[in-house]
């Protein structure tokens, strides 16, 4: 039997009347047969949907590796109005306020969500619906989306910049965990140590982590979170504090960018709105601002 999901013109306790619209939309769990349709939909806005597109390409629609469930929102004719991944992390592409409302209703019943990330305007509108269910933010940060579409004049090369291997895991994991704690206030080595190491090892096996290691020290690292033909999304960019101010970050990012742009149209990454020095750094190596984002970290729900 096909599971029944909320329609927008069906009232629900705890959700304000602003959600009740004249046009009927319905949501459903997406399945593998929807994969091509979903990728076409997400490809209409490739930079903003790079994370969801990457999950679908890497893991498929139905996979525990997505740490959540993909939903589609459709109109009465069956046309997609939105796609969302609802789970540990929440990502949404909704083409209307009505679709945002439908996804918000579904998300209110999921109590494992750690964070919501997306375009600032979309997330703020979504939050107006979603918070009606009593969800509370723990931390919110605004970020600037940067894009690079062509490589800049090369900096001096870094011969030892390479994809990480599993021998590097013990060196990288504490650094990445510290960065996650600084961003979210949650240390993944406390919250889910085995799962965190397992996911990071998988990323290394996929050759999605780039490092420069010298004398047993991690000098630089960068993580490819999502890899699609239209865009590659980077996170976890790190330069050893003892080695900063020497141009290593510029050299490594320049070299990495040239390599990645051979197989994709754009490289994107997020920088905290308050970190002006980091924004200036990325602008200095050929990145340009292309959007404003917001990430909301949620309080743990019982």
Would you put residue 48 in left (φ > 0), alpha (ψ -120 to 50) or beta?
alpha
**Contacts (Cβ under 8 Å, ≥6 apart) of 291:** 47, 48, 119, 144, 145
Q: What is the pLDDT of residue 151?
A: 86
Q: What is the pLDDT of residue 302?
A: 58
Instruction: Read off the pTM.
Output: 0.89
* The pLDDT of residue 18 is above 50: no
At residue 15 the predicted structure's pLDDT band, cuts being 50, 70 and 90, is very low
pLDDT one-digit tens code per residue, 120-164 = 999 999 999 999 878 889 999 999 999 999 988 778 999 999 999
CA distance 71 to 106: 9
60-82 average pLDDT score: 97
Long-range contacts, stretch 194-200, CB < 8 angstroms, 24+ apart: 197/169, 197/173, 200/169, 200/172, 200/173, 200/176
At residue 8 the predicted structure's pLDDT band, cuts being 50, 70 and 90, is very low
Q: Please name each of the domains of the chain with its CATH number.
A: 17-135 (3.40.630), 148-298 (3.40.630.30)
* The pLDDT of residue 22 is above 60: no
CA distance 50 to 227: 8
At residue 229 the predicted structure's pLDDT band, cuts being 50, 70 and 90, is very high
Q: What is the pLDDT of residue 74?
A: 97
CA distance 119 to 115: 14
pLDDT one-digit tens code per residue, 243-273 = 999 999 999 999 999 999 999 999 999 999 9
* The pLDDT of residue 107 is above 90: yes
Helix axes 35-43, 50-59, angle to 10 degrees: 160
Q: Residues for the chain: how many in total?
A: 302
């Amino acid at each position: 039997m096909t599971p029944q999901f909320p329609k927008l013109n069906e009232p629900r306790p705890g959700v304000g009347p602003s959600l009740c619209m004249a046009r009927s939309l319905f949501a459903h769990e997406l399945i593998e047969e929807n994969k091509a349709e979903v990728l076409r939909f997400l490809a209409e806005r490739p930079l903003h949907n790079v994370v969801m597109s990457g999950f679908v390409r890497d893991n498929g629609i139905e996979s525990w590796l997505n740490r959540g469930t993909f939903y589609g929102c459709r109109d009465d004719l069956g046309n997609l109005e939105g796609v969302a991944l609802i789970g540990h992390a929440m990502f949404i592409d909704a083409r209307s306020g009505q679709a945002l409302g439908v996804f918000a209703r579904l998300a209110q019943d999921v109590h494992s969500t750690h964070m919501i990330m997306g375009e600032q305007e979309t997330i703020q509108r979504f939050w107006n619906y979603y918070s009606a269910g009593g969800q509370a933010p723990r931390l919110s940060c605004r970020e600037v989306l940067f894009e690079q579409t062509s490589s800049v004049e090369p900096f001096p090369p870094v011969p030892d910049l390479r994809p990480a291997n599993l021998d590097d895991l013990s060196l990288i994991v504490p650094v990445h965990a510290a960065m996650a704690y600084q961003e979210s206030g949650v240390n993944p080595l406390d919250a889910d140590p085995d799962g965190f190491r397992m996911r990071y090892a998988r990323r290394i096996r996929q050759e999605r982590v780039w490092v420069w290691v010298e004398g047993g020290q991690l000098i630089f690292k960068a993580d490819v979170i999502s890899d699609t033909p239209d865009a590659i999304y980077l996170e976890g960019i790190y330069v050893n504090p003892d080695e900063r101010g020497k141009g290593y970050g510029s050299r490594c990012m320049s070299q990495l960018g040239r390599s990645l742009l051979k197989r994709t149209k754009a490289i994107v990454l997020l920088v905290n709105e308050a970190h002006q020095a980091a924004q200036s750094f990325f602008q200095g190596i050929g990145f340009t601002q292309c959007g404003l984002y917001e990430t909301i970290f949620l309080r743990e729900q019982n």
